[in-house]
Amino acid sequence: MTILEKYKQLNLEIEKIAGRCGRNKDEIKVIAVTKYVDTVTTKEALDAGLEHIGENRVEGGVEKWEQLGERGNWHFIGSLQTKKVKKVIDKYDYFHSLDRLSLAEELDKRSSKKVSCFVQVNVSQEESKSGISEAELIPFIEKLAEYPSIEVVGLMTMAPFYQDPERTRPIFRKLRELRDQVEGLGYQHAPCKELSMGMSNDYSIAIEEGATFIRIGTVLVGNPLKN
Ligand SMILES: *Cc1c(COP(=O)(O)O)cnc(C)c1O
């Protein structure tokens, strides 16, 4: 199947899921995660109408961005080393893994405009996953007010891979509750309306639990390790 065909199928799926949980399908945006594929395939995704591109590696994204950066919105979804911020700051529209003040400081310092960030929360509390803990979230958000360029547009999490995606539900539900809590505080620097959650194996659960950005690689643009 071409990316266009897969995207059409995914859109139908999103519409179906949104319908059954009473959401408007337009609230759910698809980020095509192109980390496994080359520039040609990334261009194919843009040509298919995908408006959001996600990359998780500084080096992996640069070549694609140089050729295609004028098109679409670019999301940096991986963990980001502070010293590499200057390489990516002007290329990406969103950063999904803000998880420490040193990173906020560097993003703020290097940017000449607002930087749209998702705070990454380690809801599942896996050692291997980055992100701040639930308990630290509100104090962290409060401290971000000190960095004038930082705008917290939402929260992001990664669930563990489960054979049965239903097991991710409590994680996604918790992230939504945290989002509601932060949004409710009404901080000017943290409108926090978005929820970046759900990947190829668990996006349907994420949508049911309120995702506004789903990050899809394998089932949309392909993954050489899996297909
Ligand atoms: C790779 C990756 C994805 C996409 O994963 P798939 O299972 O291939 O859809 C989403 N989010 C992040 C942060 C990733 O690193």
Running along the chain, 227 residues long, what does each successive block of 10 average in pLDDT? Answer: 96 98 97 96 98 94 93 96 96 97 98 97 87 97 98 97 95 98 98 98 98 97 78
> Does ligand 1 lie within 6 Å of residue 189's CB atom?
no
Cα 197 to Cα 51, 94, 102, 155, distances in angstroms: 17, 14, 24, 8
Per-residue pLDDT at 129: 79
Per-residue pLDDT at 227: 55
Q: Are 157 and 190 in contact (CB under 8 A)?
A: no
Residue/partner pairs of 19-26 with CB below 8 Å, 24 or more apart: 21/207, 21/208, 23/207, 23/210
Q: Are 138 and 182 in contact (CB under 8 A)?
A: yes
Q: Are 171 and 124 in contact (CB under 8 A)?
A: yes
> Does ligand 1 lie within 6 Å of residue 218's CB atom?
yes
Per-residue pLDDT at 143: 98
> Does ligand 1 lie within 6 Å of residue 150's CB atom?
no
Report the residue among 57, 95, 215, 218 best suited for mutation to probe ligand 1: largest number of ligand atoms under 8 A from its CB.
215
Instruction: Go through 178-199 and write b for each residue having 16 or more CB atoms within 10 A of its CB, e for each that does not.
Output: bbeebbeeeeebbebebbbbbb
Domain boundaries, the chain: 3-222
Measured CA to CA, the distance from residue 36 to residue 29 in angstroms comes to: 20
Report the residue among 36, 75, 77 best suited for mutation to probe ligand 1: largest number of ligand atoms under 8 A from its CB.
77
pLDDT in tens, 118-143: 999 999 888 877 899 999 999 999 99
| Ligand 1 midpoint to CA 224 (Å) | 13
CA atoms within 13 A on the CB side of 216: 29
Report the residue among 56, 92, 126, 219 best suited for mutation to probe ligand 1: largest number of ligand atoms under 8 A from its CB.
56
Which phi-psi region, left, alpha or beta, contains residue 22 (left: φ > 0; alpha: ψ -120 to 50)?
left
Per-residue pLDDT at 213: 98
What dotted CATH number matches 3-222?
3.20.20.10
Per-residue pLDDT at 177: 98
pTM above 0.95, yes or no: yes
Per-residue pLDDT at 48: 98
